[in-house]
Amino acid sequence: MSSDAVTVTPESTADLADAMRAVEADDARVSIRGAGTKQGWGALSRETSVVIETTRLARVIEHATGDLVLTVEAGARLTDVQNAVAAHGQRLALDPPERDATIGGVVASAASGPWRLRYGTPRDQLIGITVVLADGTIAKSGGKVVKNVAGYDLGKLFTGSFGTLGAIASVTVKLQPIPPAMRIVSVAADEPGAVWAAVARSTAEPTAVEWDGRTVHVLVEGAHAAVEAIASTLAGSLGTTTITDTLPATFGARPWSPGEIGIKLTHRLSALDTAVAALRRELPGARLSAHVGSGVVWAGWPVADVASARAAVEALRTVGSTVVVDAPFEVKQAVDVWGPVAAVSLMRRIKDQFDPDHRLNPGRFVDGI
C-alpha cells in the first residue's frame, strides 16, 4: 500500500460495488481491509493506490433469534456482534483474540481461537455470504440466494483468501446458545501431549483445551450440575485440584509481540509433543501456545537475524505445515511465509477467474497471488 493511497469507506453493499467498479475503470490496485488487526499477516502485498475499508459496513441485517441465525455486514466488529447476540442468550462461536477484528476480516483471514476444538473455524460457521467481485458484481451463495456464482461455494472460497478474490460485504452465520455454566480445569504441563491424551480418553467434551506454554486449561461448559461433575472427574484424572470459573488472561492469546515472528505450525494430533520439541529446538527462547486437540501450535520468536529465521522455518516444515503468520519486513522479503501448497495451480486458476487483472490485495496470498 502506498503512503499516499486513497482510502474509500463504503456504507452499503451498493457503495462497495460502485467502489470496485471505479477502481476497475482506473485499473488501480486495491487493498481490501477491515479494522486492520491482521494487516501484518500474510506475505508482502505489492503497492496499491486505493484502500477499500469496510468498517462503515457494520449493520446487523437480520437476527432470527428463534432460528439461531444472524446476517451481519462485514465491517461489524466481532466484539459488538457478540454483545448484541448475547442479549438474547446467544453467541457466535468465533473467538480470535484480536479485540477490534471485524467479521469480514475474521472470515477473510480464517482467524480462529480456542473454541475451534468444538465448533470449528470460520468456514464452519458460515451459512451464506455476499461478496463484491473485482468488476463490481455482487454475488451471493447460501442463505437467501439472489445470485449464485455457478459451481462455487463462495463461503469456502472466500474464507482465508485474504481479500484476493473480492470484498466480503456480509455474512450469514449460525449462532449457539450461551451455556449456563463453565468451569476451567488447569494442570501444569511442560509438554501438553499427555494431558490431551488423558482428556481424549475421558468422557468430557470440552469446548476448548488451551496450552499457554506452561499450563493446560480445559474449558467445559453446560448445565451447572453437569459441569461441576465433569470438571471434578476430569481434575481427578489429570491429577490436579485447580478448578475455576474464570478464564485466564493467557487463554487463546497469540504468543508474539509486534516486531517478532509469529509462527503457526499445524501437525498431526498424535504429534503435539513432537511439534513442541521442534519449535523449542529451532526457535530457542520462543514463547509457545497451542490449541490442544486442534493440531495447532503457535510460536512467538524475537528473531536474531534473517538467515536464522529462514533456516528455522525450513526445518519446521519437515515437521508440519508451517506458516509465518506475522514477521518484520526484512524477514518476509527473505522467507516464503506460506510455504509449499499442493493445490497452488488450482488456486491460481480461481484467482484468474475472480480477479483476472490481479488487482486485489496483490501478492499477499500463497505463491504471490
The pLDDT > 90 percentage for the chain reads 94
CB 212 within 8 A of CB 192: no
Q: What is the mean pLDDT of residues 121-132?
A: 96
Domain boundaries, the chain: 1-178+340-369, 181-244, 261-334
Return the C-alpha cell found at 41.
Answer: 499477516
Q: How high does pLDDT run on average in the chain?
A: 95
CB-based burial label for 66 (10 Å; 0-12, 13-18, 19+)? exposed
Residue (of 265, 244, 208) closest to 93 by Cα position: 208
Q: Is the pLDDT of residue 185 over 90?
A: yes
Q: What is the mean pLDDT of residues 158-177?
A: 97
Q: Do domains 181-244 and 261-334 have the same CATH topology?
A: no
Q: Is the pLDDT of residue 144 over 60?
A: no
Q: Is the pLDDT of residue 318 over 60?
A: yes
- Secondary structure (3-state) at 79: helix
Q: Is the pLDDT of residue 145 over 90?
A: no
Q: Is the pLDDT of residue 151 over 90?
A: no
**CATH 3.30.465.10 is held by the domain 1-178+340-369:** yes
> What's the CATH fold of domain 181-244?
Gyrase A; domain 2 (3.30.1360)
Q: For residue range 337-353, what is the model confidence (pLDDT) as tens digits?
A: 999 998 999 999 999 99
Q: For residue range 56-83, what is the model confidence (pLDDT) as tens digits?
A: 999 999 999 999 999 999 999 999 999 9
Q: For residue range 203-256, what is the model confidence (pLDDT) as tens digits?
A: 999 999 999 999 999 999 999 999 999 999 999 999 999 999 999 999 999 999
CATH number of 261-334: 3.30.70
Q: Is the pLDDT of residue 1 over 80?
A: no
Residue located via cell numbers 480470535 = 96
The pTM score is 0.94
Task: Round to whole Å and give the CA distance between 42 and 363.
Answer: 9
DSSP-derived secondary structure letter, 317: T
Residue (of 212, 351, 187) closest to 291 by Cα position: 212
Task: Round to whole Å and give the CA distance between 182 and 114.
Answer: 14
Q: Which pLDDT value is given to residue 303? A: 83
Half-sphere exposure of 12 (CA within 13 A, CB side): 3
Residue (of 35, 28, 112, 125) closest to 85 by Cα position: 125
Task: Round to whole Å and give the CA distance between 187 and 184.
Answer: 10
> Beta-carbon neighbour count of residue 258 at 10 Å?
8
Q: Which of 1-15, 107-121, 264-278 is the least confident region?
A: 1-15
Residue located via cell numbers 463461503 = 155
